[in-house]
Amino acid sequence: DTQKFNSSGNILLNNAGKMMAMMNKSAMQSRTARVPAARSRAQVRVRAAGFTTVEKQNPFAEELKKNAAYISQRGKGILASDESNATTGKRLDSVGVENTEDNRRAWRELLYTAPGLGQYISGAILFDETLYQKTKDGRQFVDVLMSQGIYPGIKVDTGLQVLPGGRGETTTQGLDGLADRCKAYRAQGAKFAKWRAVVKIGSDGCPTSTAIHENAHGLARYAQICQQEGLVPIVEPEVTLGPGDYSIEETAFWSERVYSHVMRLLNEYDVMLDGILLKPNMCLPGLDAPVATPKEVAQYTVRTMKRSIPPAVPGIHFLSGGMSEEESTLNLQALQEEMPQSPWALTFSYGRALQSTTLKTWSGKPENVAAAQDILVKLAAANSAAQLGQWKGPHPAPGGGRILQALRTGGAGK
């Protein structure tokens, strides 16, 4: 068509020209709209490739998953015997035994050589000194444990330090040099590691966001380093049982928040969730509040896990955290009744709940070793049955009350 001009010299478009201009504009807008979407898809592909590469580049990836699944097998749990020399000394002193290296070795030998313990225990957490110790007849502790099918693990954090602020909140030390220590522990026979982070609730505005973030970061970085060095990390975010009349609802609220932060940081650090184990607290009210029933504990604890822990995690190994031996078993049984088809193994990683009566029975006397080992195996068997939802009682160590566990700060061994 012949072009027409207005008084200003601009072209006047006829109907066909107007239609063509509108189509060109629409096509340009469509192409512009598609560019961010295409770029977004490319970015997603790059990020996904980065995540899978981290796992594929780890030569221990399949081993980590296999070991985590083994330790968290149904009907078994973990013996937590990683108390520092100072804490062990306090326990020994309670039964009149001097805190010497040989007495500590004798106590751990009693635990690890108990006949039949491997039927109920799949892993044992050791302290640094203990990992390198031997039985009286010269066998490495790690070999004694493996002969029973019990995987040796190692506590790798170096203790708690108080955070600034005057609230008594803590952070955990030990990241410096951790990779080298993990290499050495693996060479000695360790299969997994443990790092404890403690979050205080119930008083003085606790927990603060600073404490939650600081401890979540420490756990995530530790787990990342452990997996790089071939050790399954036990991630232990303990919302600690302490004084106060705070309710079980408050414990559940803060536990859910803490665990959610920990899981987010584990993902940000590319930690393989199917190559870790979790060691959390059960949801309990404060020590000055009425004791919750096992059913209440199970309801709040299971709800917290369902809301915050992905099913990729193979095992949730609850700490006994100041509970008596009998209460620890009753609550573990109630967890199975509350969620019999749990995607995780809801099981145990007990220290005091397996050792307290065992230690009192032994009391440092060689003639009591067999009796002490017998009660240890019975306690392990009771918790094994509870993990399967099959425990009926009576309990081998009935009664007992909750215990306030003092937090030792100042670094390793303090």
Distance of CA 56 to the CA centre of its chain: 24
167 burial type by CB count under 10 A (0-12 exposed, 13-18 middle, 19+ buried): middle
**Cβ proximity of 300 and 261 under 8 Å:** no
**The two structure tokens encoding residue 41:** 């898809």
Rounded CA-CA distance 226/156 in Å is 10
Q: Which phi and psi angles does 401 have, rounded to 5°?
A: -120, 175
- Beta strands per DSSP E along 191-244: 192-199, 232-239
Going by the DSSP 8-state scheme, the letter that residue 323 receives in this structure is -
Rounded CA-CA distance 149/188 in Å is 17
Going by the DSSP 8-state scheme, the letter that residue 318 receives in this structure is E
Please tell me the total number of residues recorded for the chain in this structure.
Answer: 414
Helix, strand, coil content of the chain in percent (nearest 5) = 50, 15, 35
Active site residue 236: yes
Helix (H, G, I), strand (E, B) or coil at 96: coil
Exposure string of 99-120, with b = 16+ CB inside 10 Å and e = fewer, is eeeeebbbbbbbbbbbeebbeb
- Beta strands per DSSP E along 45-120: 77-81
Choose, from 279, 326, 327, 338, the residue flagged as catalytic. Answer: 279
Q: Single out the residue of 374, 401, 413, 291 nearest to residue 114, CA to CA.
A: 374
Cβ neighbours around 306 below 10 Å, total: 13
Q: Single out the residue of 105, 114, 102 nearest to residue 372, CA to CA.
A: 114
**The two structure tokens encoding residue 174:** 């030990």
Rounded CA-CA distance 362/109 in Å is 12
Choose, from 214, 229, 236, 326, the residue flagged as catalytic. Answer: 236
Which residues participate in catalysis according to the annotation? 236, 279
